[in-house]
Amino acid sequence: MNPEQREQAEREQASRILPPTPYPQPAPERFEARRRHLLSEVDLQTRARSSHPAPRRRRRIVLVLGTAVTAGAIAAVLGLGSGTTGAPPGLPPASAASVQLLERAALAAGTAAPSKVRTGQYTYVKTVGHTSVLSENKDGRTELLRQNEGMEQWTSVDGSERTLQRKNGKDTLLPHTPGGGNLNAPTYDFLAALPTDPEALLKQIRDDAEKNHGAGSDSTTGPDHEAFVTIGDLLRNGVTPPATAAALYRAAALIPGVDVAPDAVDAAGRHGVAVARVHDGERTEWIFDKSTARLLGERTVLLEDNAWGKAGTTVTSVAVINRGIVDKAGQIP
């Protein structure tokens, strides 16, 4: 299949998987301005390569003109051609269908009414689901155990108070995170301060991933997949400001290897369409409601037999049941 045929196949896949967007496409003059900007950037990159020859790298610019793709998606696709993501040569950019779905999710998140958040309040999230762990029993044999991941969690919006977590009816105060939060333990204020430019945001996340998962580390995850996992955690584990959530979805569209899974089921039994990325025989899926593009949850599915189970096994699955802003830890929105 040549590049043009592959492109057409991806567009057809996107139209089959995704219903028409409930959000209006941008005004024609705005769309045309973005198109001109895209073409001018391509021209500049071509001139730069001709002036400073570099090893040849096969890149593909995906321009999807469906109603669900707006200026943000075009900006995201532009980033795929710029080489700023540090993608290995030969790993394909995010598919057209995944870019379209992520843009729908960005629009849904970005147009949501922003919460009125005050100092002293808490973000609340309730999840259900499970994860799998390998444990050694008393006979010295390894067995696979399923752990309950259902919980409720209250996090201080500015990080001034410790996080309250409720699991299996037991309340626990988590260790205090200094500095008002970080990518591994974010607060609402920390998320609100992140860049809303998708490329700048992905660079910050990927730079952080590079420290622990890049060259020279013992990690086999790699910075690209770790960035994908980090973005999923940021979107799922609390309440994210609308502008930040939209930027996170658009940043994910810049990560190579992102695709879609047409049908996925979350831990609450809800069917949706997923943005997915494969790494080391496992597929990580972010599951969205097909009608609203609202994030339902996340799961990890084995694509081949290993110590964690047979191919097709869901080793981790977490669904978001409720979230919001409350005045006190322990309150329900």
What are the pLDDT digits (tens) for 203-237?
Answer: 999 999 888 766 666 667 788 999 999 999 999 99
The whole-angstrom separation of Cα 275 and Cα 267 is 16
- Is residue 6 very low, low, confident or very high in pLDDT (cuts 50, 70, 90)? low
Question: What is the mean predicted confidence (pLDDT) over 322-328?
Answer: 96
> Residue 40: pLDDT band by 50, 70, 90 thresholds?
very low
Instruction: Please report whether residue 22 resides in a domain.
Output: yes
- The answer to the question of residue 105 being in a domain is yes
Q: Is the residue at 210 inside a domain? A: yes
Q: What is the number of alpha carbons within 13 Å of residue 252 lying toward its C-beta? A: 34
Q: How large is the average pLDDT for residues 293-307?
A: 95
> Which two tokens mark 209?
């991933």
| Residue with tokens 């993501």, as numbered in its chain | 85
CA distance 278 to 300: 9
Count CB neighbours of 306 within 10 A. 14
> Which residue would you say has higher pLDDT here, 213 or 68?
213
- SS3 letters across the chain: CCHHHHHHHHHHHHHHHCCCCCCCCCCHHHHHHHHHHHHHHHHHHHHHHHHCCCCCCCCCCCCCCCCCCCHHHHHHHHHHHHCCCCCCCCCCCCCHHHHHHHHHHHHHHHCCCCCCCCCCCEEEEEEEEEEEEEEECCCCCEEEEEEECCEEEEEECCCCCCCEEEECCEEEECCCCHHHCCCCCCCHHHHHCCCCCHHHHHHHHHHHHHHHHCCCCCCCCCHHHHHHHHHHHHHHCCCCCHHHHHHHHHHHCCCCCEEEEEEEECCCCCEEEEEEEEECCEEEEEEECCCCCCEEEEEEEECCCECCECCCCEEEEEEEEEEEEECCCCCCC
- The number of domains in the chain is 1
Q: Which domain holds residue 115?
A: 3-326
What's the whole-number mean pLDDT along residues 65-75?
A: 35
> What pLDDT shows up at residue 177?
81
Task: Judge whether 332 lies within some domain.
Answer: no
Enter the tokens of residue 85.
Answer: 């993501």
Average pLDDT value for residue range 179-194: 93
Q: How far apart are CA 233 and CA 227, in angstroms?
A: 10
In a domain, 196, yes or no: yes
Assign 264 a pLDDT band (cuts: 50, 70, 90).
very high
Q: How does strand 282-288 pair with strand 314-326?
A: unpaired
Greater confidence (250 vs 81) lies with 250
Distance (Å) of CA 288 to CA 65, 67, 248: 22, 18, 15
Confidence (pLDDT) at 144 = 82
Helix pair 242-252, 71-82: axis angle to 10 deg: 40
Predicted local distance difference test score (pLDDT) of residue 105: 97
Could you report the per-residue pLDDT of 266-277, keeping only the tens digit for each?
A: 999 999 999 999
- Measured distance CA(236)–CA(105) in Å, rounded: 13
Range with lowest mean pLDDT among 4-18, 93-107, 284-298: 4-18
State the Cα–Cα distance between residues 24 and 138, nearest whole angstrom: 60
pTM reported for the whole predicted model: 0.76
* Mean pLDDT computed over 296-306: 95
| Predicted pLDDT of residue 308 | 87
User: Region 14-33: what's the mean pLDDT?
Assistant: 51
Closest CA to 117 of 248, 247, 240, 233: 240
d(CA 105, CA 48): 34
pLDDT at 174: 94
Q: Residue 249: pLDDT band by 50, 70, 90 thresholds? A: very high
Q: How confident is the model at residue 16 (pLDDT cuts 50, 70, 90)?
A: low
Better-scored residue on pLDDT, 31 or 273: 273
Length of the chain: 333
pLDDT of 56: 26
Question: Is residue 129 in some structural domain?
Answer: yes
pLDDT at 141: 78
Which residue has better confidence, 110 or 178? 110
* 20 φ, ψ (degrees, to nearest 5): -55, 140
What is the average pLDDT value for the chain, to the nearest integer?
A: 79
Query: Which stretch of 88-92, 115-119, 184-188, 210-214 has the lowest confidence by average pLDDT?
Result: 88-92
Q: Does residue 331 lie within any of the structural domains?
A: no
- pLDDT-based confidence at 52, cuts 50/70/90? very low
Is 333 part of any domain? no
The answer to whether 96 and 14 have CB atoms below 8 angstroms apart is yes
pLDDT per position as a tens digit, 110-164: 988 777 899 999 999 999 999 998 887 777 777 888 899 899 999 999 999 999 9
